[in-house]
Structures are given as structure tokens and as C-alpha cells.
């Protein structure tokens, strides 16, 4: 069972991924982790990736996909995986599809955690962090004091409404064609309503996978 995860910025994909993985009894596989582990292991693809990184270049899709394909063929991932952040573009979706087909597997479903843009702006704009210790707070005024060390609570630049709307627009522009590609190729694409309690959202995602 190979599942590809997407999530709008602020929709809680990072919270949901480990919960879903635990409920399904499969690991989460993220590009960054696999890349680092291939480099640590000194595998041929890991060394190739490192040569690009050492020159300050992006690691090409073909190398990344090779590393992902290698990981998918390992026993630890035999029961299935949640792919988190592995597919961001249509060429990557195509490459992954080819790689998993060569392993005799297929992408079972694409899950996309979604929240209304206005709600995301409201949520993130309501978040402040301590200037000193970076502890995040919600429902507190910017300018008030941290409970731990009295530091000033500030809203991060990234959480300003304009910055959030910009991130959402970039996500939409990048992700919409990928979701369409999966639909066109007969893969189930489930948009999960990510509003509500964390456990309820997990249950919704599991319900979609079981249906
Ligand atoms: Zn603090």
C-alpha cells in the first residue's frame, strides 16, 4: 500500500502523517530522510546525490527517484509506505509511477489534507512565538510575555496574512496539476477535510482509505 500525502500549508499534514502511519502500521518515507541515509550508507546513488550537493546544485529527480525506489524495495517498507513530500511536480509523479511499476507495485491513493484558505490565515495569524525561547502560543496577543522566561511574544514574518496567502497560492499552483495527473491516471485522490480535532481528521483519512 503506497500512499502519497499532500497538505496545504497549515493543514496539519506534519501532525497527521505519523498518526496515520501508526494506525496503518506502515512507515513514513520522506525524501530528505532517505537522501541523508543513502549518503550516510555511501550507496552509489547516495554518493551521486552528494556530488551534486557538494557543488551546491539540486539533486536531480532521477537520482532522488532512484533512492526512493531503492527504499521501496527494502523489507522495512514491504507492507507499504506513506510518501511525505516525495511528489511535488508532475514529472516526479510520472517518475514515481514508473519506479513503483518496475517493483510490481502501484500508488494506492493520494491523500490531500485541505482547509479553507481563510481558516488557515486565521489560524496561523493567531500564532505567536517567544522571541527568546521560540515557544509557540495560540490565542495570545503579540507583545505579551512568555510564560517560561518572560520573553516577548511576536508573530513570525511567515505567519503574516500576506505571507500565508502567498504560500497558499504557490502550493495551489504547484499541487493542482499533480492531483489532476493522478486523477487522469485512475489513482484515487481523496481530499480530506482537515478542520476539527486531530483524531477526527485521522479517522476521516482512514475511512477514505478503507472505502
Ligand atoms: Zn520564552
Q: What is the pLDDT of residue 123?
A: 82
Collect all residues with Cβ–Cβ distance below 8 Å to 66 and sequence separation of at least 6.
45, 99
Q: pTM score, two decimals? A: 0.85
183 belongs to the catalytic site: no
204 belongs to the catalytic site: no
> Distance from the CA of 144 to the center of ligand 1, in angstroms?
11
Q: What is the pLDDT of residue 208?
A: 93
Q: 147-183 pLDDT, tens per residue?
A: 999 999 999 888 888 999 999 999 999 999 999 999 9
Q: 140-157 pLDDT, tens per residue?
A: 889 999 999 999 999 988
> Distance from the CA of 162 to the center of ligand 1, in angstroms?
26
Q: 41-83 pLDDT, tens per residue?
A: 999 999 999 999 999 999 999 999 999 999 999 999 999 999 9
Q: 38 near 46, Cβ under 8 Å? A: yes
Q: Which of 40, 148, 156, 183 is catalytic?
A: 156
Judged against a pLDDT cut of 90, whether residue 189 lies above it is answered with yes
Q: Which of 105, 122, 155, 167 is catalytic?
A: 167
55 belongs to the catalytic site: no
> Distance from the CA of 105 to the center of ligand 1, in angstroms?
48
> Distance from the CA of 135 to the center of ligand 1, in angstroms?
6
76 belongs to the catalytic site: no
> Distance from the CA of 134 to the center of ligand 1, in angstroms?
6
Instruction: Write 205-208 long-range contacts (CB < 8 A, 24+).
Output: 205/16, 205/20, 205/111, 205/113, 206/20, 206/23, 206/24, 208/109, 208/111
Average confidence score pLDDT of the chain: 94
Q: Which of 50, 88, 105, 155 is catalytic?
A: 88
122 belongs to the catalytic site: no
Amino acid at each position: 500500500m503506497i500512499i502519497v500525502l499532500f497538505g496545504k500549508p497549515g493543514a496539519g499534514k506534519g501532525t497527521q502523517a505519523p498518526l496515520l502511519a501508526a494506525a496503518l502500521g506502515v512507515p513514513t518515507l520522506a525524501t530528505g530522510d532517505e537522501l541523508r541515509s543513502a549518503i550516510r550508507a555511501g550507496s552509489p546513488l547516495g554518493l551521486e546525490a552528494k556530488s551534486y550537493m557538494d557543488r551546491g546544485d539540486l539533486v536531480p529527480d532521477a537520482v532522488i527517484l532512484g533512492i526512493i525506489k531503492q527504499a521501496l524495495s527494502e523489507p522495512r517498507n514491504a507492507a507499504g509506505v506513506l510518501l511525505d513530500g516525495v511528489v511535488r511536480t508532475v514529472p516526479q509523479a510520472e517518475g514515481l509511477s514508473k519506479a513503483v511499476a518496475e517493483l510490481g507495485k502501484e500508488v494506492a491513493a493520494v491523500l490531500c489534507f485541505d482547509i479553507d484558505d481563510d481558516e488557515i490565515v486565521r489560524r496561523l495569524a493567531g500564532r505567536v512565538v517567544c522571541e527568546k525561547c521560540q515557544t509557540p502560543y495560540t490565542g495570545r496577543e503579540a507583545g505579551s510575555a512568555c510564560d517560561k522566561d518572560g520573553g516577548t511574544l511576536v508573530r513570525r514574518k511567515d505567519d503574516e496574512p500576506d505571507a500565508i496567502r502567498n504560500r497558499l497560492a504557490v502550493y495551489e499552483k504547484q499541487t493542482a496539476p499533480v492531483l489532476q495527473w493522478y486523477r487522469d491516471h485512475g489513482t484515487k485522490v481523496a481530499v480530506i477535510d482537515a478542520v476539527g480535532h486531530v483524531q477526527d481528521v485521522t479517522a476521516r483519512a482512514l475511512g477514505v482509505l478503507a472505502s
